Amino acid sequence: MIRQLALLVGAAAAAVLLLAGGYTLATGRAVAELWNPPPPEFRMHFDAERTAAIARLPGDYRVHADPRVSYVLKPEARLEIAGAPVDSDLAGMRRRASAEPGDPQRIVLLGDSIVFGYGVLEHEGFGPQVESLLRRAQAPGARAACVQPIGLPGWSFRPSIHFLFDHWNQYRPEIVVYVPYDNDLENVEGVYETGHRRTQPDVFTSQPLLPISDHKSRLLIRSLELRLRKGEISITEADLGADVLAADLGGESTRRYDAMADGIVLLAQRLARQGCRLAFVRYHDSTFMDHLFARIGARLPDAAVIPLLAEIRPPDTNWPDPHLNPNALAAASTWIARSLVELGWIDGAQDAAAITTPDEYAGRRARPLDAGETAQRSRAARERERARLLPVVDFVAARGLRQVYGGLTPVGTVGPRLLAALAPIGDLLRVELAPIPDRDDLYPLAVEVEVDGVPAGALTIEPAAKAPSSRIDLRLPPRSGSASSSSEPREVLLKAADWVVVDELKGIELASCRLRRIEVIEAGGG
């Protein structure tokens, strides 16, 4: 009897231990915490608990642990993005519809919303279409090509590259096909897990409080349409000035192109150490592609480059959305798949000519460019954009607004930092700023002015009751470096000593003042 009782107690204890272990594995929490929960400050690593909480929120994204990645999809969820259903996997990428065979040839498509398949069904995206074409080109018995897209809407080059590195053991690719795009120079905007955008400090620049975002720039330019309709301004396209972020004229633009090229070299080096091949997709002909691929050609002269469309036309897209529609994606997928076969990278691949492009896209593919021609096109593009540079950014008259890198809202509010580029045609800089209405508590406020990274002086903004605006003329610092630098824009950085949060256009903004005008003038000018 005693022996039976002991066996029963032992079995019960084992069952309790088994249940406790199962609870811990399922929740990441110890059983003891049921009656002695950890204080909130010690709950930061309870990832399973956080994942469960995120699942109850309305957003489509989850903040990633690596600040270089910023965000991924809400894991293992059924979502709808740009009108298309999206299933996510545990890592926060779009889930592959097809099952992975036992010993696949792993290929990763790396990029942003283009690779993600923005606005199209899963099987219509680049990944599944390239995979299907490659498998059809492979001989029986060859290791099946398995294509995994790694990319999300809003990513730049850093999130895609570092997500791959962070999750290397999961993907272990033999081939990476990288698809850069024109918005890769911008800061990555963060997201809240409620589904809203979040402007976050950029930890990779010397000015983390300076937001450089295509989304914000487009809002600024789009706001001019309303001002035009109201008759407040009268401008032409030329009055907007040069698109300085893409122009590669020196300063911040060139720094960002160089940083992207350096990141690509890092990608190439790390892949080479793992015996992984790397190819680049030249998505379409554009000045961004010319500037970037001129750098890639100089740094990686033997790089494999796959050209796609010579020109993207509205019928190729879900207009006005600029992303390719399913028909254009199908044609472009044939060019990627055929190029990989022609490179000899696909196991057991047969004749690449068997991969045919739809007739409507015959003759639409961009021709290959050698390094010399790409560099020449890059130089020509810089000269065209240089000719468009204006010596002024005037918010009131709506002149030169494309020459603001970031830090300016559609109503003219300046954040903690503002960076603009001006034509170098004078020796004085005139800065005119105004206080924010109804925020006299912020003033007087000092705003430092730097030109080409050199302190040039400071302007003090007075309360509105004392002065509706404040103006200062500063001597431009002498330029250093090569003779060619004298033709580069003068880059003006405004650094406010303080700022506040204001309600603006159904949102909140960090605000220091309002912009009237920044202008390069000749000494003695009016």
The pLDDT assigned to 169 comes to 96
Question: Does 321 share its domain with 420?
Answer: no
Separation between Cα atoms, residue 295 and residue 158, nearest integer Å: 17
Is residue 210 included in any domain, yes or no? no
Question: Does 457 share its domain with 484?
Answer: yes
* Most confident segment among 52-61, 125-134, 205-214: 125-134
What would the mean pLDDT of 81-107 be, rounded to a whole number?
A: 92
pLDDT at 143 over 60: yes
The pLDDT assigned to 43 comes to 61
Separation between Cα atoms, residue 80 and residue 87, nearest integer Å: 8
Question: Does 315 share its domain with 436?
Answer: no
Query: What is the per-residue pLDDT across 435-489, written as a single tens digit (0 to 9) for each?
Result: 999 999 999 999 999 999 999 999 999 999 999 999 999 999 998 765 456 789 9
Question: Does 297 share its domain with 155?
Answer: yes
What would the mean pLDDT of 349-356 be, rounded to a whole number?
A: 89
* Distances, alpha carbon 420 to alpha carbons 68, 281, 403, 510, in Å: 26, 31, 6, 18
The pLDDT assigned to 26 comes to 54
**Token duo for residue 101:** 């065979």
* Total domains in the fold of the chain: 2
Listed in order, strand segments (DSSP E) in 364-453 are 392-394, 404-408, 413-422, 428-434, 445-451
**Residues 102-130 as b or e (16 or more Cβ within 10 Å = b):** eebbbbbbbbbbbbbbbbbebebbbbbbb
Separation between Cα atoms, residue 405 and residue 256, nearest integer Å: 12
What would the mean pLDDT of 191-210 be, rounded to a whole number?
A: 83
Question: Does 416 share its domain with 321?
Answer: no
Pick the closest to residue 355 from 325, 324, 332, 377 (CA basis). Answer: 332
CB-based contact 294:381 (threshold 8 Å): no
Helix (H, G, I), strand (E, B) or coil at 506: coil
Q: Which domain holds residue 360?
A: 58-193+252-378
pTM of the predicted structure, to 2 decimals = 0.89
Contacts of 125 (CB under 8 A, 6+ apart): 94, 115, 116, 117, 149, 329
Angle of the 47-55 helix axis to the 2-27 helix axis, nearest 10: 60
**Token duo for residue 242:** 């040069």
Query: Kindly report the CA angle at 203 between 201 and 206, in degrees rounded to 5?
Result: 100
Question: Does 62 share its domain with 181?
Answer: yes
Is residue 236 included in any domain, yes or no? no
Query: What is the per-residue pLDDT across 295-352, written as a single tens digit (0 to 9) for each?
Result: 999 999 999 999 999 999 999 998 889 999 999 999 999 999 999 999 999 999 988 8
Q: What is the mean pLDDT of the chain?
A: 90
Is residue 443 included in any domain, yes or no? yes
Question: Does 73 share its domain with 124?
Answer: yes
Question: Does 368 share its domain with 433?
Answer: no
Question: Does 164 share its domain with 272?
Answer: yes
What would the mean pLDDT of 33-62 be, rounded to a whole number?
A: 72
Is residue 351 included in any domain, yes or no? yes
Instruction: Give the number of other CB atoms < 10 A from CB of residue 295.
Output: 20
More confident residue, 228 or 111: 111
**Token duo for residue 260:** 């992207």
Percent of the chain with pLDDT over 90: 72
Question: Does 374 share its domain with 393?
Answer: no
Q: How confident is the model at residue 4 (pLDDT cuts 50, 70, 90)?
A: low
The domain boundary, picked from 378, 403, 425, lies at: 378
Is residue 277 included in any domain, yes or no? yes
- Residues β-bridged to residue 210: none
* Out of 37-41, 266-270, 365-369, 504-508, least confident range: 37-41
Query: What is the per-residue pLDDT across 386-403, written as a single tens digit (0 to 9) for each?
Result: 999 999 999 999 999 999
Question: Does 370 share its domain with 428?
Answer: no
Q: What letter does residue 138 receive in the DSSP assignment? A: B
Is residue 424 included in any domain, yes or no? yes
CATH number at residue 87: 3.40.50.1110
Question: Does 312 share its domain with 398?
Answer: no
- Residues β-bridged to residue 445: 461
Separation between Cα atoms, residue 36 and residue 402, nearest integer Å: 58
Percent of the chain with pLDDT over 70: 90
Query: What is the per-residue pLDDT across 215-246, written as a single tens digit (0 to 9) for each?
Result: 788 888 888 888 888 888 899 999 999 999 99
What would the mean pLDDT of 403-429 be, rounded to a whole number?
A: 95
The pLDDT assigned to 38 comes to 58
* Out of 37-41, 52-56, 198-202, least confident range: 37-41
Is residue 491 included in any domain, yes or no? yes
Separation between Cα atoms, residue 173 and residue 157, nearest integer Å: 18
Helix (H, G, I), strand (E, B) or coil at 168: helix
CB-based contact 409:509 (threshold 8 Å): yes
Query: Kindly report the CA angle at 135 between 134 and 137, in degrees rounded to 5?
Result: 65
The pLDDT assigned to 284 comes to 96
**Token duo for residue 88:** 């996510």
